[in-house]
Amino acid sequence: METLLVTGGRGRSGRWLVDGLAGDYDVVCVDYDQPGFEVAERPHVDFRAADLTERGEALDLLSDLEPDAVVHWAAIPAPTRHPGGRVFETNLLAAYNVLVGAGRAGARTVWASSESAYGWAFAREKTLPDELPITESHPMRPEDPYGTSKVAGEEVGKMVARRYGTPVTSVRPSWIQYPGEYSCRTVAAEGLAGGAGNFWSYVDVRDVVSLVERALESPPEGHEAVHAAAADNYLGRPTVDAVEGFFGAVPDECTLSGEASALSTAKAEELFGWTPEHTWRESEEETVETPSLLAE
């Protein structure tokens, strides 16, 4: 069985990745700490503690484990609760160290970029995209440390793919939601303003897991970036109507219809045969136990 290293695996979405991939792989879950030897580990799940911003720790870890594949999910997830410099430095250093270490190990790699790389989510003034639906070729114009760290991280991914000849997939998730806990629906009830920063897009964590799984199974040639988004918006109304209602206009290049997501997932379907399966209509009230990474 292949060895898969998952960074940030004890985090909120990271544990869903470890849970979903364990068994198909022997997963090594890497985070700032590990649960200790006194707890019973699940089959096919092991733990390591490391500070991935420390180059020596990260490169030693990857050199020792020689993983077949790497999922880099560790990051400070937003710029608003930490100093901006810390967000940028932490995210970029960790991405550089892990992706370079994966390239040296010859490991195929999937890592968490973000829709925030485009710049809308944390922009001071909300602006229209150049197109609807938004494709991965849309210009990235971040003005915050988080989105900028993701743009820089994708450049690292491209460098690693060129230098080491290993495949790197940058997944740009929309706002990740969890079964039975769809925070986006609370925002929807408050009007259009709250979700305008990503044009009311979202994605279920289980669809993120399935996309990562597909990208590991059928890696691209070189580096590719793909969206992870649900098929619809979370408002329950036509997306173009919402855009026009908030911005007073729509992009000249607009082919959206109905409640389709503002983020196109056509590229992920073309490359990996992936399409999102979950929508807020079924998942908002769904009861699904949060994965545990330890033996029961």
pLDDT of residue 19: 96
pLDDT of residue 42: 82
Domain ranges within the chain, ordered by starting residue: 3-283
Is 0.85 topped by the overall pTM? yes
Instruction: Supply the pLDDT for residue 271.
Output: 98
Tokens coding 245: 């209602």
Range 3-283 has CATH code 3.40.50.1370: no
Instruction: Specify the pLDDT at position 86.
Output: 93
CA 82 to chain CA centroid, nearest Å: 19
Q: Which residues of the chain have pLDDT under 50?
A: none
* Rounded Cα distance, 17 and 230, in Å: 17
Dihedral over Cα of 85, 8, 271, 67: its sign? positive
- Per DSSP, the residues of 116-182 read GGGS-TT-SS----SEESBPTTSPP---SHHHHHHHHHHHHHHHHHHHH---EEEEEE-SEEBTTB-
Instruction: Judge whether 1 and 44 are in contact, CB under 8 Å.
Output: yes
* Segment 187-224, tens digit of pLDDT: 999 999 999 999 999 999 999 999 999 999 999 999 99
